[in-house]
Structure formats: structure tokens, C-alpha cells
Amino acid sequence: MSQRVLTTESGAPVADNQNSATAGAGGPILVQDQHLLEKLARFNRERIPERVVHARGSGAYGYFEVTDDVTGFTRADFLSEVGRRTETFIRFSTVADSLGGADAVRDPRGFALKFYTNEGNYDLVGNNTPVFFIKDPIKFPDFIHSQKRDPFTGRQEPDNVWDFWANSPEATHQITWLMGDRGIPASYRHMNGFGSHTYQWTNAKGEAFFVKYHFKTNQGVRSLSAEQAAEQVGKDANSHQTDLLQAIERGVNPSWTLHVQVMPAAEAADYRFNPFDVTKVWPHADYPLQRVGRLVLDRNPDNVFAEVEQAAFSPNNFVPGIGPSPDKMLQGRLFAYADAQRYRLGINHTQLPVNAPKAADVDNYGRDGLHATRYGSRQDKNYEPNSYAGPAQTGAALGSPLAVHGWTGTHEAPLHAKDDDFFQAGELYRLMSADEKDRLIANIAGGLSQVTRDDVIEKNLAHFHAADADYGKRVEEAVRALRED
């Protein structure tokens, strides 16, 4: 094999990559050393802003295969035929820590999936929990600020974390999930994934359904205790990345089975829980899981920066037959996710290979901007409507219209029969075994006992008491014991 020639960015061959050009041996470096200046300038610009949330992540390619007929619920083409396969890319992540954070920490995990369908890319951006801490996006920046490093101390502060939760009782359900046994997955392969939000499916007849996505791991759920996680972080801070990379390289391809819960749209108004509240679940007894297909991961990225860090997901990337619901948090994310990537990666981030459609053509009037690679031919116009056979609208909506009524303004979501902030948290607690309850109590008390203000502790204790009397009593006793030590 012949030796490849090292070149500059402009393609010129590099004569010496070991020594800078100087004014004589041992003299000062010359500004005319274009290769040196180019290398240093490029090095200074190698990093892009990390994600504000979900900064630490891993990714893989794979495919989704339909195993069951769901055409009665959606006209999405990639779900239209049993046996149909669609290429996918997934990014797993932690939420609160920075890019250099450890994998085995107690934190929700992102589960962001891109389907490269022949009708365009469909992004399903969820977590490994079916619920979330808040129900309105106006609180999201405050929530994340409370979980991130304090601007004065530079640390994650228990006072901040628990103070926000004390004043946000709707977080009680997610806290019970996070502090329970599944709060620290053993690996990305051994956790479930959820769409978390409620979405709309529309079939060929125009009938609308609301759905929730559940990806059940076929490897089995495995989690770490707080002690096991601390040991794992000490051994390999990149444990989840290592596990995913090595498993796929060995040919042990992880997989998940996708199920959905399906609610006819007409049933949403009178359901006992607000079906669009992401702090709530739909009990399976009401809406059983229906199998759709399987997700298989079989290829690692060639370059983590190009394909994992530059991967851009947005919940507003829908395809015909799938659309949003009135879920407030989802509605906020429809803007925020795409806008975050425009900031991080630029207006043309959708043209990057990992983000560009693979099975569909892009044909629109977007032009120019930083890093533009799509220009069109000399005859193409950059406006619409035009008389030159440019791309035109279809007139066919992606989903069914949602009825709205009432006065504009800031409103709390309408209450359904069981819409308090504590009922489902109590139901989750009562489902746990005695050992699971012991670990849950220890995890909550370990964090809450570090809070310095008594009133913040009391507010949080009141939430656990409201969820379940035994739950509240045991957390209160455990916190008191730790504070007296």
C-alpha cells in the first residue's frame, strides 16, 4: 500500500509536520508558516457548544422492523407493512451532567430515535421513564437550572434540587421513579425507552388516536444500586459507552420491542387522568400495550463527534400519519429542540450526513447560510409560488386537526377526575416490593437530608405523605435519622 500524503486544508502537500518554520535554527517562529497557523486555528475551533441538557451521550445505527399490523391506527408509510424495515439512528444520554460527566449516575436517560423514512425523517425524542418532572415548558429552564451547577459554588447543590421539587409537587411521580431501583441503569442496553409524551396517530380514513410509545428492552432490565454505581464510576466513567460499543462490535446487537398504548381521540376529554400531562401515565389496564415492531442496533458510528455530537433531533420532525398532541411539554419542545440545534450546529445542520434524510429527497426553497451544501440548479427559483415547476405544497395535512376553544391567556390545564400530583406516585410506591421500598427511601433520604433549610425539607415530606401515608412516614423517619447522626 502506497503511503498517503498529508495535506493542508486546501490540499497542498505538507513537507514537515514535526517542526515549525523559524527564523534560523532556534529562532522565533515565522507568521508565514501557513500549516502551523492553520492547525492551531482549527484546533481552537474544534469544539462546539455542548447541549445544555443531554450533553453526555452515546449513539448507534440500526433498523426498525414492523412485526404487527397497525394500519388501523396510522397511515405512516414506514409502519404500513409487516416486515418493513427502516434505517435508524439512536442517541442515549444522561440529562443533567456535562459532556465530561460519568455514565453510571442517578439521572433520567435520553432515548432519542431517528427513523430515516421514505417520507422524511421522523424523530421520536423520549426518555427511559414514562413521565417527567414538570408539565409546562415555561418551568423547564428553571428546573434545569436547579439541577445544574450552582453559579456561585460551581457544584450541583441538594438545596437547589430539592427546593425546586418542594415548590413543584407535580415532580413527586418522577422523583419516585428516579429514586427507585431503575434510577441508575446498568447499561443503555438494559433499560426501557419511552416516548413519554402523548402523540397523535391518524389512519387512512382520517380517524385520530392518541398514543404512547414503550420500547421494552429484550436484554432484560438491569440496574445498579447506588453503591454499585459509585464503584462503576471509579472503574470506568464511560461504562455505558464502553458497553454499547463493545457489544455491537462483538455482534451482540441490542434490541427493543416497541409497543404502543392507543386511545381513541374521543375518549381523551373524559379520561380520569389528563392524557396530555407528561407527569401521568395511562394504566395498562385501561389501555393495554399493543406490539408494533422491534428496534435493532447493529452498527457503531465511525466518528463520535460527527455522528453522535452532531446528531440533531427534534420532536417536530413528523411524517404523514403521526403528529403532536396538546401535551404542553411536547408543544414547548417542538420549538426548543430544533432551535437548540440551530444555535449549536447552524441553520444547515439538517444537511449533515447523520441528520440528512437517507430515503427521501429534500426539495424546498431554503438557501444559503453557514455551511450550506444544497443550492439547487441554475434554473431553480428560491421563492414560492412560482411559474417554473418548483416544489409545491401537497394540501394534505400530516395529521388530524385538533379542536380548540376558549379565551387566550395563561391557563392551568383542565383537571380530570384523578388529576392530583400525588395519586400515581402513591400507586407506583404501592407496586414496589419491600426491598424496592427500602432502597427508594434510602435514596430519597440520602439527598433530602443534605438540604439546609427545614422548610424545604417539610414541603418535600408533605408531598410524600400525600402520595402514601407509609411512604411519607418512612421518608420522614429516614431523613430525621440521617440529620441526627
Q: Which of 121, 127, 192, 348 is flagged as catalytic? A: 127
- Round to whole Å and give the CA distance between 371 and 391: 23
In sequence order, the β-bridge partners of residue 290 are 260
User: By the 8 A CB rule, do 211 and 131 touch?
Assistant: no
> Distances in Å between the alpha carbon of 93 and those of 89, 102, 331?
13, 11, 22
Which one is catalytic: 54, 173, 214, 259? 54
54 is an active site residue = yes
3 state DSSP class of 270: coil
CA distance 300 to 59: 7
Distance of CA 73 to the CA centre of its chain: 25
**CA-CA-CA-CA dihedral for 331, 333, 334, 336, to nearest 10:** 130
Helices and strands: H and E segment counts in the chain: 12, 10
348 classed as catalytic: no
Q: Which residues contact 480 (CB under 8 A, 6 or more apart)?
A: none
Residues 6+ apart with CB under 8 A from 187: 222, 239, 240, 243, 244
Do residues 444 and 481 make contact, with C-beta atoms less than 8 angstroms apart? no
As annotated, the active-site residues are 54, 127
